[in-house]
Amino acid sequence: MSSETIATALPKTRIPSNAEVLRTQRRERISLTLRYLILGSVGLLMLYPLFWLLGASFKSNQEIFTTIWFLPRDLTQLLDFSAYYNGWMTRTEFTFATYFLNSFLIVIPRVIVTLISCTLVAYSFARFEYPGKKLLFSIMIGTMLLPPIVLRVPQYLMFKELGMIDTYWPLILPSAFAVDTFFTFLVVQFLRGTPRDMEEAAIIDGCNALQLLWHIVVPLLKPALISVALFQFIWTMNDFIGPLIYISTVEKYPVSLALKMSMDVSGEVEWANIIAISIVALLPSLTVFFLAQRYFIEGATSSGIKG
Amino acid sequence: MASVNLEKIVKTYPNGFEAVHGVDLEVRDGEFMVFVGPSGCSKSTILRMIAGLESISGGELKIGNTVVNNLRAKERGIAMVFQNYALYPHMKVYDNMAFGLKLAGLPKQEIHERVTQAAKMLEMEHLLDRLPRQLSGGQAQRVAVGRCIVKRPEVFLFDEPLSNLDAKLRASMRVRLTELHRELRDRGQPSTAIYVTHDQVEAMTMGERICVLKDGTIQQVDTPTTLYDRPVNAFVAGFIGSPEMNIRPATVVARDGGLGVEIGDTMLPLPAAYSDALRNLIGQKVQFGIRPEHIGTPRSILAAGSQERAAIANCTFRLREHMGNEVYTYFDLGGHEFAARIPTDFAGEIDKAERGQTIPLGFVMDKAHIFDADSGLNLTLSALPPA
């Protein structure tokens, strides 16, 4: 059929005028601008305390307590980083370098043992059949509902018996036995959502259970494991109660305890120093988060396998 | 060189459910055997038992001359293609293919040779450097096949490998896989293949022999043409062929000089050859089966030269589907619905028929089957011409 016949065969339709198209486009633009404006201002409102914190690290005590605006009155103060220096040096014989190092001495081993123990336990729950599996899994989920505080006293007594008080062991060792139930649960669910075909193919290719875990399952679990590592890193970095209970020597304090200690010192507290150092304390967690963000979102939202 | 022998193979699950009931089967060396059946017939379970992914609850499984019941998958000399390809997503195509060989500890040089050779055979050398997520469905399928070939297994196992592909690709992959099998066999390489599918078209076109399964038991094992022409029971008759065979309740009746079947109020005469087999069943209920292509208009019957063997009956027209070269015609006879495949050239009167109109249709009666009403066994098998 030629184009002419098509044109004549069609009923006469109204062709939209140029003005109508422009009007529609303008309306869409306005509504889009409005939406971004509202979302943006709400977002700013939520971030304001953070901006204020940043600004406050350059202010004097008097200004901190009298102004709500985040920038210091005298903008040249923004060039004065003495609060960061003073905060870092602390009033003790140790600088924050020591405390950061201490924090990492807790965080890094803990993340590693968490990853290993979670993967092993989750692999067994998700892929093997054995008597009592359902019961064990329910118990594990049950411990997730237990308030952590109820375990503090018995755990303290236990570690005291083992002579581990004032060492980092009580902060690291539990994670080696997959007591971070939430993480184990996360990995189990992720693994349940991934098809078994690849593992079966690998069995036929000649893998034994451990080769299977290393060559196939761990790469499949990568997004979930990155989420676990990230959460564990941030939570351990920010943990205050744990070190408070078990660590008594100032030399062994992690960042969270050291920050608190800076506030405790009798006499005039220079708030800018504390605020400055608390900003510095945020940096490792933020850095790790942004580095792992891509995988983290993948791990939290999907199984990472395309159909 | 390896045949696969199943002797009284049983699969019972821990909850007591018996999925496979004593299956006996021999897959000959170099043969392309297809397992076909509806979902839940345990065809995949049997394949997975052969692969070593499921334990064998009872019976004996031999590959070649070795009993492999208790051997691990990698010691059985098998390779398997999965429905959704099961490529390792974090490895490139080359490493996917080489993975099994690396685990087996083959020297690098040999791995490289085998992989490139297989890639050449499957025309996928340009894909070796890609990750599985960068492949289309058809390409991923070829990689999955390649991963099997490099292992040079005694037996290839296919678990519905084409069911994730679109119709066109499926048809072309079907031909490729069949060709590949013949190519391997012609080269003298081990090429015994067991192929699981629920699609009877795949079964008919690919299988040298087909094993039809239902509820964990074998119904019939034979060549495609024999299955089609001489089904042992109503299940096989209905499962093989599309549109499926018309199988409707009927009664055997006596008529002048022979027997007939009564479907509702219509009597169709049966050929004299069936008399011996059905004489004792006069007055009894049976199932009457006839394939859609053995029903036609008087003109199409004449054109096929089967007018002498055909019985003409008045039918009530319901619906037609134009397939291009054929018209699928749906009609009622004696209160039961039937389907016919009529060549378009001879479908003139069907084309004009109105719903509810009476039309004369011919039934080629020596192609009809009579099945036992209860057991479904084909009672006329002895009277049919041998395969």
Residues comprising chain B, all counted:
387
State the average pLDDT over residues A124-148: 90
Query: Residues A285, A229: one domain?
Result: yes
Taking residue B287's Cβ as centre, other Cβ atoms within 10 Å add up to 23
Q: Chain B closest CA to A129's CA: distance in Å?
A: 11
Evaluate whether A200 touches B86 at the Cβ level (below 8 Å). Answer: yes
Tokens 């049976």 sit on residue: B286
Check CB contact of A108 with chain B, cutoff 8 Å. no
**Cα gap B199→B274, rounded to integer Å:** 32
Min distance A234 CA to chain B CA atoms (Å): 28
- Among candidate residues A57, A82, A107, the one where a domain is terminated: A82
Give the mutation candidate from A196, A197, A205, A302 for the B interface (greatest B CB count, under 10 A): A205
Q: How far is A208 from chain B (nearest CA, A)?
A: 10
Cβ–Cβ contacts within 10 Å for residue A189, how many? 14
Fold match flag (B4-229 vs B247-383): no
Domain B4-229 classification at class level: alpha beta
Indicate if A52 and A169 belong to the same structural domain. no
Task: State the residue range of the domain holding A56.
Answer: 11-82
Per-residue pLDDT, A61: 83
Largest CA distance in chain B: 80
Size of interface A-B (CB pairs under 8 A): 62
Same domain membership, residue A68 and residue A174: no
For residue B342 the two structure tokens come to: 């009529």
Strand partners, A148: none
Q: Does B51 touch chain A (CB under 8 A)?
A: yes
As given in the structure block, the two tokens for residue A125 are 């729950």
- pLDDT for position A266: 63
The reply to whether the predicted model has a pTM over 0.80 is yes
B80 close contact with A: CB closer than 8 A: yes
Q: Which CATH architecture has domain B247-383?
A: Beta Barrel (2.40)
| CB-CB neighbors (< 8 A) of B149 in chain A | none
Nearest to B73 among A204, A219, A222 (CB): A204
Partner residue opposite A200 with nearest CB, options B78, B79, B86: B86
Q: How far is B74 from chain A (nearest CA, A)?
A: 5
The low-confidence residues of chain B, meaning pLDDT below 50, are none
What's the Cα-to-Cα distance from B163 to each of A81, A87, B87, B142, B167, rounded to whole Å?
Answer: 66, 66, 16, 14, 9
**Sign of the CA dihedral running B203, B176, B47, B90:** negative
ipTM of the complex: 0.84
Interface mutation vs chain A, best among B44, B47, B53, most A CBs within 10 Å: B53
> Structure tokens of B212?
């039809």
Share the mean pLDDT of chain A.
86
In angstroms, how far is the first alpha carbon of chain B from the final one?
Answer: 29
Contacts of B205 (CB under 8 A, 6+ apart): B174, B178, B224
Number of continuous H segments (helices) and E segments (strands) in chain A:
15, 0
pLDDT reported for residue A305: 43
Residue-range domain boundaries for chain B:
4-229, 247-383
pLDDT value for A11:
56
Beta carbons within 8 Å of B284's beta carbon, 6+ residues apart: B251, B252, B373
Q: What's the number of domains chain A is made of?
A: 2
Best B44, B54, B74, B133 member to test A by mutation, with max A CBs in 10 Å, is B74
The answer to whether residue A3 scores a pLDDT higher than 70 is no
Residue type present at position A138 = S
Same domain, A109 and A225: yes
Q: By CA distance, what is B99's nearest residue in A? A: A205
Q: Which of A197, A203, A204 sits opposite B84 (nearest CB)?
A: A197
User: What are the strands of the beta sheet with B326-333, ordered from one edge?
Assistant: B295-296, B358-364, B310-322, B326-333, B336-343
For residue B86, the chain A residues in CB contact (below 8 A) are: 195, 197-198, 200-201
CB B160 within 8 A of CB B124: no
Q: Residue A213 CB: number of other CB atoms within 10 A? A: 17
Q: Are A62 and A145 found together in one domain?
A: no
CB B363 within 8 A of CB B300: no
DSSP string, A72-120: -SSGGGGG--HHHHHHHH-SSSS-HHHHHHHHHHHHHHHHHHHHHHHHH
Which residues in chain A are closer than 8 Å to B78, comparing Cβ atoms?
204
- Between these two residues, A63 and B157, which has the higher pLDDT value? B157
> Position of tokens 């070795």?
B66
Does residue A149 share a domain with residue A32?
Answer: no
**Cis, bond preceding B360 (omega within 30 deg of 0):** no
CB neighbours (10 Å) of residue A257?
A: 21
Are B51 and A201 in contact (CB < 8 Å)?
A: no
What pLDDT score does A303 carry? 39
CB distance from A92 to chain B under 8 Å?
no
pLDDT in tens, A183-227: 999 999 999 988 889 999 999 999 988 999 999 999 989 888 998
In a domain, A169, yes or no: yes
Question: What 3-state class would DSSP assign to B168?
Answer: helix
Percent of chain B exceeding pLDDT 90 equals 77
Bridge-based pairing state of the strands B326-333 and B336-343: antiparallel
Chain A CB contacts of B161 under 8 Å are none
* Cα–Cα distance, B294 to B323 (Å, whole number): 17
A154 lies in some domain: yes
Distance of CA A141 to the CA centre of its chain: 22
Intra-chain end-to-end CA distance of chain A, in Å: 42
pLDDT of residue B88: 93
Q: Do B104 and A206 touch (CB under 8 A)?
A: yes
Cβ neighbours of residue B115 closer than 8 Å, sequence gap 6 or more: B94, B97, B98, B101, B128, B146, B150
> Phi and psi for A112 in degrees, rounded to 5?
-65, -50
Query: How close is the nearest chain B Cα to the Cα of A305, in Å?
Result: 8
Residue A94 sits in the same domain as residue A76: no
Measure the CA–CA gap between A239 and A244, rounded to whole angstroms: 9
A213 touches chain B (CB under 8 A): no
Based on the fold, state whether residues A75 and A208 are members of the same structural domain. no
Looking at the fold, whether A186 and A281 belong to one and the same domain comes out as yes
Closest CA to B291 of B336, B339, B329: B339
- What single-letter DSSP state applies at residue A64? H
> Is residue B78 less than 8 Å (CB to CB) from chain A?
yes
Q: Which of A193, A194, A192, A178 shows the shortest CA–CA distance to A228?
A: A178
Tokens of B203: 């079964």
Same domain, A191 and A293: yes
pLDDT tens-digit series, residues B313-330:
999 999 999 999 999 999
The b/e string for B301-311 (b: 16+ C-beta within 10 A; e otherwise) is beebebeebbb
Identity of residue A89 = M
Q: How confident is the model at residue A1 (pLDDT cuts 50, 70, 90)?
A: very low
Q: Which residues, 6 or more positions from B234, have their beta carbon under 8 angstroms from its beta carbon?
A: B247, B287, B289, B371, B376, B378
Model confidence at A302, pLDDT cuts 50, 70, 90, reads: very low
**Over residues A84-98, mean pLDDT:** 86
Check the CA dihedral B128-B132-B135-B141 and report its sign: positive
Q: Which site among B88, B134, B136, B149 would you substitute to test the A interface, given the most A Cβ atoms closer than 10 Å to its Cβ?
A: B88
